[in-house]
A and B are shown apart, each in its own frame.
Chain A
């Protein structure tokens, strides 16, 4: 079992309150996922040539005492890159105005235990072990601002309880996916992707789905075409919620084994595994509430 939540605000003023509205949604899914939690927030993009990485130091020897400012000095010394770091506990967002591959290669070489959570111009990603309330507090989720987000609470079934196996998973740039369910053919998908040079960080089944869909997007499929390929290739139980810089997308397996409910008003679209995570939202009593159908694609534009 796991919990998923998503929120996309239509009213610009609500972008300031995105995190505050979301935290009760995430905490509402604690019974479905008490072991880990995570969040991807999409906000205004950085300039064309700039990128940001969300980094997690919890797996390094220093943990929350990781020397983040030493990292930016070393990037200046080694690569002559001016990077800005924004630190929250064992997590930091590193921004710079060069191609990200060079920075990521350097990080893997010099800080192999530093986990790269996401890459892009719009996405910030946080995930860690702990209850949703603990993780939300650790990274001050209530202060998050942006146009849309994807969140997850985990009750692990398919791989160990570790920060890197928490959701959301990311692949490529500005793409993330959360999953409630379990895939029965993740290793088939891995074997299909590996000859294309696609590397996996973990043994988690959701990571296979995430990298499969991002691979299709990178190969030029529109989101809807990639999701259709997903229906054909992925076997098992899933409700998937995905985020891109301007979209939230949701699909459910043909048996609708895992739940999802949507509440839509003029101000927002909110998605959760169960209504109890939506009950606190402003105006929800008059929202259009519905259950997404299996094997249908639901895409909302930010």
Chain B
């Protein structure tokens, strides 16, 4: 299979993204490597083909945002908003990720080997996120669908105002957000979790995780609450 390389120290990011958007044929499965990313923003955003893009170094904001079909591997850390609004495909960050990782992702799989910052998986809409390390505060805020697996710990307000997304966590939770609750793991949870961990290449025992989901008490307006004005 043909291999392509872009050196961002020598050529522009726009040239690379333009190539990935315009010059690939439908179903293109080529392998593209990116060297000297040097924290540039918007690396490999908006991909629409099943290519594999390997980024060798640290990526800036919004890396692999809006990804569709592609596999993007970042051999380094990722800045704010990695894989935000992903539709499908896989994004794998080998280092840590900053705030808002996987925000609003509709589909696909985001794997972060290290820690994720605050607001990981905020407003998740159907994508899956597996974090090898810990996540910052307000992760899973208003997550509507999809699954988050956290192998480390979580900060404050985990799963605040959750809809139907489910969170599996192995470590400690500093605090749960409003309407989030621990629930018993079912056989279906263990099966789903084992599959996600396997896809992410992490070999933790599913039995060591706890499930967090919505208590659904915010789904309907409670006219009797706090009536004393």
Contacts and interface: CB of A to CB of B under 8 A. Distances in A.
A256 B136 contact: yes
B60 A293 contact: no
B118 A276 contact: no
A294 B138 CA distance: 12
Counting chain B residues whose Cβ lies within 8 A of the other chain, the interface size class is 20 to 34
A264 to B, nearest CB: 14
Interface stretch (B84-92, B95-103, B163-171, B212-220): B95-103
Interface in B96-140: 96, 98-99, 117-118, 136-138
A181 interface: no
B79 A256 contact: no
B46 to A, nearest CB: 20
Chain A, interface size category, equals 10 to 19
Nearest to A289: B77
A279 interface: yes
Contacts of A255: 118, 137-138
B96 A275 contact: no
Contact of B137 (A279, A285, A294): A294
A274 interface: yes
B95 A289 contact: yes
Interface string A263-281: 0000000000011111110
A278 B39 contact: yes
Contacts of B80: 259
Contact of A293 (B36, B76, B136): B136
Contacts of B117: 256, 291
Contact of B38 (A259, A276, A293): A276
B118 A289 contact: no
A165 B76 CA distance: 37
Contacts of A277: 39
B118 A274 contact: no
Task: Sort A-B residue pairs by CB-CB distance and give the 9 closest, nearest first.
Answer: A275-B39, A279-B38, A276-B39, A275-B58, A256-B118, A279-B39, A274-B39, A291-B98, A276-B60
18 contacts: A254-B137, A255-B137, A256-B99, A256-B118, A259-B80, A259-B98, A259-B99, A261-B77, A274-B39, A274-B61, A275-B39, A275-B58, A275-B77, A276-B40, A279-B38, A279-B57, A289-B58, A291-B77
